[in-house]
Structure 1
């Protein structure tokens, strides 16, 4: 990485220096036009006089009033990490130039349009939803790849996003601030899709955005309801299908989707979306994610190239996953299924989508509270491993110190929703952990995305539980397995002790040959169905006794 060539970036750059026609970095870069920014960052298109090419510059300065001025160094360090990340959704970071207190991130320039210009180009109507969803796919892929490496993109502003000439959304101006995290990237993906569908931006702009000049006007703020929730895209623009609206809102709310990989899969599962990265040509000078060869044949027309659907066999093999976790997941997916089937019982309900989901979620919470207060009966495994008539007298509780989602290292995606896993051992039936909602059932078949998903329990001390009770509002199948560590590599590194089924709110298994271990895995092998191609499991409590 290069060092600043005496351009004097020891403090926040005064506005006269960042002006079209100015020279920076020792006269190498000629500033052409501003593209927005925020406090501590300014985005510019510039021309590299040495290599005779256009580049994107992110000027990074200490935050206003900062003493000592160390924030810029952190931004540069985090952004340098993106230089090894290759994806069609990320403009390649070419260099990071460091000054005394700030610096410049140099990225390849992306011909095309800003997000604001692309969203406004529809002339008041919603962008074709297939085009909008397809556009977001490369950006979701970049965020997922970053997440896999423990990195973030900082998708916090519409100014950062551009659409290529063939319709791919990507991060054009990199600059990873201290507050950026993976959840913010997930929300940013939802915001980009929302903007393409409605020509409005649903998130608050970063502090200091208004002080940065833009070439294209930013999208207007998204309308909000009386409850201050972002309006359903279908009520903002005509022609937005409900499934595209759900895709945007579920990513936006910051809780229903746990990772960028899930968003990428949701995009893949959306009607008309590609099942792989769009088969578009890279922008001039831009290596593709697959072979990193330099492309120089990008199209000149703005309209994206027609999408050719994959054959049925390919489509069947690809995993599909829709959003939803925790309390709203079951009813949310049922609602989505009703939309897809056109099966709303009351077609006159014109409330915004968030209001409808909130109402149903409240009803579900009341239902769960009632069920938690009811007397629960043990349910034996249909496979015959347990028999209620032969239940042992086991009453000594086995204390559990920690619970975490687990899956084999060979499984795709992530072991989702780790933040809520502790809810299954908190003694409160109203708090839950949920899987994401999958388009295919768990298993070993060609259409299954995962063989299963588990909750790894770490006991206070090594013990040999003789009974396990799993409480859930879903009908699920599970196995109880002993493990030698909290993070085994594969399922073969665990030992099956019993199998069980949850039905009617609770499932109990008695372990015939208990094994003393500090780690116990509740391995979910079959999910409940909440609608067509919608499979999910929610667990409220796991209780161990001996």
Structure 2
């Protein structure tokens, strides 16, 4: 299995861009010691990751190469030097850090296994016990890092490596001035959330190419128990507390201790008890199930009594009122259905999801686009979370500066009232907007050109890049009906391979 050293989508080397070209080749020996065996991939900062061999000690190593070296590689090398000072079974060992001017490289332990992001992406969310054990190992590693006064700064499913022998190790520290001990600890909550749901909470932990957590219209994150069945309440509470900045985060040692307790409980969830973090790093004592049940029962009784008294008060207040006198707020100005009995005051029906099928959507790729994505539009409306329209990779965010953008044209079949359009992408940082027109001039290059030039945006506001992966577009005129709607992408985020790309997972239209 491959090993990938990667993490947040913030470049590790703030002094300049990473150039992935260079003269490194299979069989080359660096520093007269490290022989390059296989180019695995480029990490999320654009650096080359190689599997190599330490020809002196005859052991496998991972070599992370950056072009150029020199001043622009200072941060990468310093992070490696700092990491080499901490020895812990749950931390990837760092062996060497070398700057040759034209290139710089870090040599670290090679882990036979896979990153957590690969395992979950391939096999789906993990069972609660396994997710707890992984989070515990990461918290243990952070305890050792923080004890030295350092920050890791890159806790992520891509840097959480699971060895074939079951060992969990944290790799690729990238701390900078913006990172903190608290951010490290909260990122453990992100790892837990990803292991349990297969999604990464961008707003709470940090940007990533992983799909964002499920959110409601207000942007509030869905708890793991809302996403999937079988997540114990204590683990759900722990994960959400770590992601909630209103709740004081514990230090790594306290978190590791609590995870150890939960890990020991394993399947005996009833004995694990609830968890709440308080000020400082202490954890409230576990409250007995009996006391919790009694407290809930008391609250139910109080609520019922309040309801009874409330009903009696309302009934008594109605006595003595003249027949036909309207109650406050009931708008009883005439017969049922409106002031004149004709339904004029009947509230409009709430917006409903409009069913979309494959024959109602198509890709719009204006010149000089190749229209190679023509068959991808159906994947945005098939209701399958495992499928998506995958854009091609471009060397710049604005589609290689070759065209205005690309999008999905929706034909509702007839003019309808529309309240909003909801789009789910694989990553934040997408510039997109909604446009409407009167017709589809043709499923061809010329027709796509007319659509892009002739359709009008529903909003005059500046187009802003998405901060999450779920975007809700409003702004439709309630007095107008729409048949043709264009979801149009004008700027793409950077992908794991260094190119700019994104997946459009889902498109939904709501209206009447």
User: What TM-score do the two structures reach when normalised by structure 2?
Assistant: 0.46
**If you compute each CA radius of gyration, which structure gives the higher value, 1 or 2?**
2
